[in-house]
Every structure is written in C-alpha cells, then in structure tokens.
Amino acid sequence: MIYRSLADINIYDSPKLDRLATQMAKGRYLQVLESEPNSLEIQLLEDDYTGLLDRQDFEKLELSDRQSFIDNLPQALSTQEISDRLTQVIAFIQIAMAIPNEYLWGGTVAPNYDCSGLMQAAFASVGIWIPRDAYQQEAFAKPVNIEEIQIGDLIFFGNPTKTTHVGIYIGNSEYIHSSGKEHGHNGIAVSELAGLDRVSQWYANQLRGVARITTC
C-alpha cells in the first residue's frame, strides 16, 4: 500500500529506532515493505530510499494510491531548465543558513540538515529530485573538471574509494555545506576551496571532484 505523510517524520536505520537514516518531509509518499515488531520497513517513493518507520508515527500517514503519487511527481526538466533554477536552489540554502541550525546526521527537513540532505531538500524545493546520499548524488551527477566549475555545481569530498561529504559551489572559490561538529561548522556555512581556515583546509584535503546536476 502507498501512504502520504501528513507531517515531517523520522526514518531510522536501526531496529532500536535510535539512529536516524533520513527524514520524510510532509507530503512525501512511501510504501510499506515489511512489518517488524516495533517498526515498519518502508521505501520512500521519490528516491527509493529505504528505512524503518516507528509504528507510533503511522498515524502521521494517510492512505493514498500510486496514481496520486504519479500525479504529484515533479515534471521532467531539461538541462537548461535545471540550470535556470540553480539560483533558486542556492537561495533556499542561503535562507536555511540564516536560520539558527546545527548539523544533524540524517537531517533533510528544516532547520537541521546533514550535507546531502540539505542538497536534496534544496533541489526538491524547485522541483528537481536528486538521490539522497552524497555518494548517490556523485554517481547521479555529470562529472566536470574542477577548472570548469560553475555556480550550482556540487563539490564532493571523501577518500579515494568513498564519498562522504557534499557542498554546492556559489562562486569565488566558495561553497555552502552543512558540516559536523568535529571538523566542520556544526551547521550550514560557507567554506573556501583554498581557504586557510580550519574547516576549509580539512575538506580541501579530501576533495574528490565536481559534478553537475543535468537531469532529475
């Protein structure tokens, strides 16, 4: 069966429901895959993300149908149409940055986000759906040479085998990202690709590459 959320809902990746995997914003759709003693294994339909729903949150859902989900999907966009909306994507992130926030692993709804949750929410706000996690976003986007970086491109960080972080380029060698407490800003802030501050240097040493969203 397909359900639509009536409120923002936490989705977990542990049977103990003590570890956040992602969040389901109000208005999103899911289907139930399997029933567990304290939870329901679900799949979010917009991006196929799976996780566990606390049974107590089931009351925050309403029964829907596949046609309703299809009717509410964003329209397919051309590469140019996506490019034209990137200023709005960045504006969403700048507004989110201006509101008091802190880094939240799994966060995809305001005010607290993780890095890839912020990117997904910002693009979705203008009708562009991209995958949930940073490594999925890197695989989904079109790689570009860093010398050809443009405003709105995504910048990926990690190690040679794994992507662990993402930000969005805003020009002048700067990017916005939501980063953690230990090595980041503990929330949404601006860093520099070649900055001398502690956070910028930490991520500069983990730079993997740049990619551009051209499809949704």
pLDDT at res. 37: 87
Q: Average the pLDDT over 192-205 and give the result.
A: 96
The average confidence (pLDDT) of the chain is: 96
Q: What is the pLDDT of residues 129-176, one digit of tens each?
A: 999 999 999 999 999 999 999 999 999 999 999 999 999 999 999 999
Residue 31, pLDDT > 90, answer yes
Per CATH, which fold does 79-212 belong to? endopeptidase fold (from Nostoc punctiforme) (3.90.1720)
In the chain, ranges of CATH 3.90.1720.10 domains: 79-212
68-88: pLDDT as tens digits: 999 988 889 999 999 999 999
Please list the residue range(s) of the chain that carry CATH number 2.30.30.40: 2-71
Mapped to the 3 state alphabet, what secondary structure does the chain carry? CEEEECCCEEEECCCCCCCEEEEECCCCEEEEEEECCCEEEEEECCCCCEEEEEHHHHHHEEECCHHHHHHCCCCCCCHHHHHHCHHHHHHHHHHHHHCCCCCCCCCEECCEECHHHHHHHHHHCCCCCCCCCHHHHHHHCEEECHHHCCCCCEEEEEECCEEEEEEEEEECCEEEEEECCCCCCCEEEEEECCCCCHHHHHHHCCEEEEEECCCC
CATH top-level class for 2-71? mainly beta
